Structure 1
Amino acid sequence: MIVELKNEQFYLCRHLLNRQAHLEPISVINQTNPGRVFVDDNTNPTSGMVWLGNNDGFIFFGNPHNEKFNQYIDPFIDQFLVEEAKKVDLDYMEAIGNSKDWNTTLEKVFKKRNHGNWNQRVYTLKNYEYLDKTEPNIELEYKIQKLDNRILTSVDLTNLDTLKENILESWSTIDDFCSKGIGFCIIVDNEIASYCYSNFVAGSVHCIAIETMEKYQGNKLAQKVAHTFVKECFIHKKLPYWDCMEDNDPSVAVAERLGFKSYFRYIGFDFSF
């Protein structure tokens, strides 16, 4: 069987997580970021999955060879997760293993589904690896601002609501983000042109969310705001963590230009409900 844990029970899963792999399940289990946790046993779990609060995937952890858990994954999806996903307008599943051994298990579990897969890269950056000389200059009309309560409650920025919605996908509240996360944006003509912020945090490690609005792309704004974010991380002794699809060439290029080094790679599986 598969059961859902209450938040106060999440600690039961800490020892099951691969701490040399994904940051996101650690942040959920530690209750820094929101999410839901499902396991094979609510008193002594050995396998489980984290449903990330931003609906950006289900990460399977613990023993990948646990038949007690694995045999219930497929029916659990059809009988429970599909209805829960509809409540948040999610019509597909992205499944990721917290260790390489999960890849074989998930391939077997989903063999009857018309699933696809993709490759993902994770990078980290230590301060001695940082290539500060690659920081670009940008036009004077672009202003860099810290993402704090002052900016995030501004009434002057025309597209602020979109940024706040993105932040609240992985944080319980804006205040929670401001107290635990790091973020910067670039503003021009009362509009946010680019931003970079922590969307998941586990201890001193900050996972990066970064985006440049389409009409401002090509002006090196992503590079600039990423440099600003990284330098702030180092000031506060935090480790930047960059997770992107392997075929996302612009994202890979920005990360490697700053000096980010490959940490690990993983496979994701996806299919429609």
Structure 2
Amino acid sequence: MIKINNLQTVSNFENVVNEDCPSFSGIIAGECKGELWVDTIDKPTIALANSYAVGSFAFLGNIVNDNTYIELDNFIKKDIFYYLKQQGINYFEFTIENAELRPYIFKMFKDKTIQREKEYSFRKTEHIDKNYYLPDDFRMQKVDSDFWDKILNGDFKNETFLTKRILESWESFENFKKRSVAYCITYSDSIASVIVGTARFKNVIPIDIETEEKFRHKGLAYSLTIEFVNACIKNGLMAQWDCMESNPNSQKTAKKAGFKFYKENEVYWFDI
């Protein structure tokens, strides 16, 4: 498997992208930031992508022959497991984004005790015609150049709550501005809540949304969602909301904002 660096791009990647998973397909297409390994740079048939925003790996493509399977098996168990252990990570978390891959991946890890959890994806294709209310002294902020300058000037004491999400997902703030959308809600010198488009494939942008614990239960996430979705619609983009089965509050917020169920997948992990 070949690791793609900043000086390389994958060409003719149609066999290893999937419109259902923009977080990983966007990495393959060179739209957003992440780690990527492929069997060949031109017309790859199998890919392994690691999304910093998602926090896991994904298998994409298909096994076309026995040699591909053997090479992938050796690569995962020798190179990737070693790579993770060097970072102090003692587990491997992944999704399988193409159904044809499932029997091969499960065969590869047949000696592992695999845990799993369902992940649900929702999409919103229409403008949200609803108002929202912010508590006193909370301010809605579009993350544009002016707001970024305030961050660089040290106006907020917890700026990494926002900047980490953007810079782990995009090569630079300029790159982010061209391809994505973000909003936050501030309170005094704190960033209370954020919503960031952390990837892009074609016109689909997955959402990362979080509120600082001390500011929760104030409806901030819902307010951010309205602004984010409407900005996406205005710019010809579609927002995708991914959440785990164990996070019913996230599902509740998505449904309240009118997101419609799109697909179900499973996230797997095991100790290494």
Q: Would you say same fold, with TM above 0.5?
A: yes
- AA aligned opposite 2:145: N
Q: State the match for 2:12 in structure 1.
A: 12
CA 109–241 in structure 1, closer or farther in 2 if over 3 Å, else same = same
Mapped to 1, the partners of 2:196 and 2:69 lie a distance apart of 35
Mapped to 1, the partners of 2:214 and 2:27 lie a distance apart of 34
- AA aligned opposite 1:220: G
Matches within 5 A, 1:105-116: 105-116=104-115
Question: Would you say 1:149 and 2:148 are equivalent positions?
Answer: no
CA 179–46 in structure 1, closer or farther in 2 if over 3 Å, else same = closer
How many equivalent residue pairs? Answer: 268
Give unpaired runs (5+ residues) of structure 2.
Answer: none
1:171 offset after TM fit, Å? 1.4
Mapped to 1, the partners of 2:40 and 2:29 lie a distance apart of 19
Q: State the match for 2:136 in structure 1.
A: 140
Q: Give the secondary structure class of the aligned counterpart of 1:137.
A: coil
CA 209–111 in structure 1, closer or farther in 2 if over 3 Å, else same = same
TM-score, normalising length from structure 2? Answer: 0.89
Deviations 1:172-193 (A, max 9, x none): 1222212321011001121111
Mapped to 2, the partners of 1:100 and 1:225 lie a distance apart of 34
Aligned partners of 1:147 and 1:184 also within 8 Å: yes
- AA aligned opposite 1:11: S
Mapped to 1, the partners of 2:170 and 2:42 lie a distance apart of 27
Give 4+ residue runs of structure 1 displaced > 4 Å after superposition: 86-89
Give unpaired runs (5+ residues) of structure 1.
Answer: none
Matches within 5 A, 1:161-240: 161-240=160-239
- AA aligned opposite 2:222: Q
Question: Would you say 1:93 and 2:84 are equivalent positions?
Answer: no
Deviates more, 1:212-221 or 1:154-163: 154-163
Q: Give the secondary structure class of the aligned counterpart of 2:199.
A: strand
Aligned partners of 2:11 and 2:43 also within 8 Å: no
1:69 offset after TM fit, Å? 2.4
Mapped to 1, the partners of 2:87 and 2:39 lie a distance apart of 24
Q: State the match for 1:122 in structure 2.
A: 121
1:81 offset after TM fit, Å? 1.2
Q: State the match for 2:271 in structure 1.
A: 272
Deviations 1:124-183 (A, max 9, x none): 1111xx5533x4322131100011232233211111123212222211122221232101
Deviations 1:175-219 (A, max 9, x none): 221232101100112111111110011222111110001011110
Counting aligned pairs with the same residue, the percent is 24
Mapped to 1, the partners of 2:55 and 2:189 lie a distance apart of 30
Deviates more, 1:210-219 or 1:172-181: 172-181
1:65 offset after TM fit, Å? 6.0
Mapped to 2, the partners of 1:236 and 1:182 lie a distance apart of 10
Q: Give the secondary structure class of the aligned counterpart of 1:247.
A: coil
